Structure 1
Amino acid sequence: MLKRYFITGLLVWIPIVITLWVLGMVVSTFESVVPGFLTSEALFGRHIPGFGFALVVVVVVLTGLFTANLLGRKLFEIWEGLLSRIPLVRTIYNSVKQVSDTVLAPNGQAFRKAVLFQYPRAGSWTIGFLTGSPGGEVASLLPGEHVSVYIPTTPNPTSGFFLMVPRSEVFELNMSVDAALKYIVSMGVVAPGGMPARGN
């Protein structure tokens, strides 16, 4: 009886603790980029929890508003032009910007579809997410049509594997990306509802 109550209590507390832990990491990461002279200690003489996070959110929103107009876009282009002239910075910045533009763009297709395919061997199945299609030299060397797929690891989906798989071997799922992530993170415990998979 005690064991059952203990497990029930864990089922209640584990999601809460992990959620608070992740939120704490996000807030502390945001606050770490705030300059010292803009911290709550420097401005108000005392520590205000979440002040740095709120400040970063405000700055990001204001930046979005500024770059949405013609003058802001022009200044942003000048800024990017300056960064593109610095060898090491140019490489890092362009790579990160390309990934963020692809993943975060409203009309982008990255992580918009969950798929089912055999991995790491025939007969074993896993769930991944479409991230696009191979291009350039890689596409020219691949026989037939392929798609790019990201396979998150369990229970930590922030790491994973990138594969290029023949389109004919990939089955698109009707489940949402959120439902697929829950299925992966829960190690198959939280089975998604919805319609069955359909093939390409």
Structure 2
Amino acid sequence: MKKYLIAGLLVWLPLALTIWVLTSVLGLLDGMFGWFLTATQAVLPASATAPLEMLRRIPGLGLVVTVVALLITGIFATNIVGQWWLRQGSRVLNRIPIVKSIYNSIKQVSDTLFSSSGNAFREAVLVQYPREGAWTIAFVTGKPGGEAAHHLPGDYLSVYVPTTPNPTSGFFLMVPRRDVIELAMSVDEALKYVISMGVVAPPLPAAAPALAAEPARN
């Protein structure tokens, strides 16, 4: 009986969690879209609110509107006119005392993470943490800079060590490159490995036998 219950749980649990995540995201987007409709109705005459109220009843419309808005924004931001307007908007935000600190911090992080020319979170590595001899998966985020780099002689890497099973929290480390072992697995495979607490291991690459024959670095 216990074996069959566990087998049934393993079948339904991933499907149930997937449906729950998707419905939560759709609910969030529909809620944001509903808030936008409410704000629009507040400034429009009463005769124009009826069509907007009909849009509120269409399920999933918030997701469609969000995707379309992102596409339009991306097209606008990649041409000369759009870039000029974005620079003007950034200048306005940078003149607001509290807003400029929050905006600049978030913008620097997002530009680093999502830039196609950046190296953040594009390589999975092995590092010794939290003590020597204990290894964990980390993600290279770049190299130390500023005053920290001035006090670290030699070749160092900045890495992010995610927690399990929630990889959105973790630890930022600056470690010597010689103490880092590069992995052939992709970032997606490494994230699955971390989230599953080591249960879902990625397949061995073709060069795995040769890599396994090498002695571990200290």
What residue ranges of structure 2 are gaps of 5+ in the alignment? 42-49
Q: Answer whether contact 2:30 2:59 (CA < 8 A) is retained.
A: no
RMSD: 2.3
What does 1:123-142 align with in structure 2 at a 5 Å threshold? 123-142=133-152
**Counterparts in 2 of 1:93 and 1:46: CA distance versus 1, 3 Å:** closer
Q: Give the Cα–Cα distance (whole angstroms) in 2 for the partners of residues 94 and 41 of structure 1.
A: 39
Aligned positions, number: 199
Structure 2 match to 1:47: 57
Alignment-derived partner of residue 15 in structure 1 = 14
Counterpart of 1:74 in structure 2 is 84
- The aligned amino acid for 2:172 is F
Distance 2:53 2:81 in 1: 31
Aligned residues of 2:155 and 2:176 also touching (Cα < 8 A): yes
Separation (CA, whole Å) in 2 of partners of 1:165 and 1:43: 56
Q: Distance in 2 between matches of 1:46 and 1:138?
A: 52
2:175 aligned counterpart, secondary structure = strand
1:32 Cα shift? Answer: 4.0
* Residue 98 (structure 2) aligns with: 88
Q: 1:143 to 1:5 in 2, by over 3 A?
A: same
Correspondence for 2:154: 144
Q: What's 2:115 paired with?
A: 105
Alpha-carbon shift at residue 11 of structure 1 (Å): 1.0
Q: Structure 2 residue aligned with 1:64, among 63, 70, 74?
A: 74
SS of residue in 1 equivalent to 2:67: helix
Residue 178 of structure 2 corresponds to which residue in structure 1?
168
More helix by share: 2
Task: Give the aligned residue type for 1:159.
Answer: S
Q: What letter is aligned with 1:25?
A: S
Deviating more after overlay: 180-189 vs 29-38: 29-38
| Residues 41 and 47 in structure 1, CA contact (< 8 A), matched pair in contact too | no
Name the % identity. 52
Equivalent position SS for 1:178: helix
Q: Measure the CA separation in 2 of the matches of 1:80 and 1:62.
A: 19
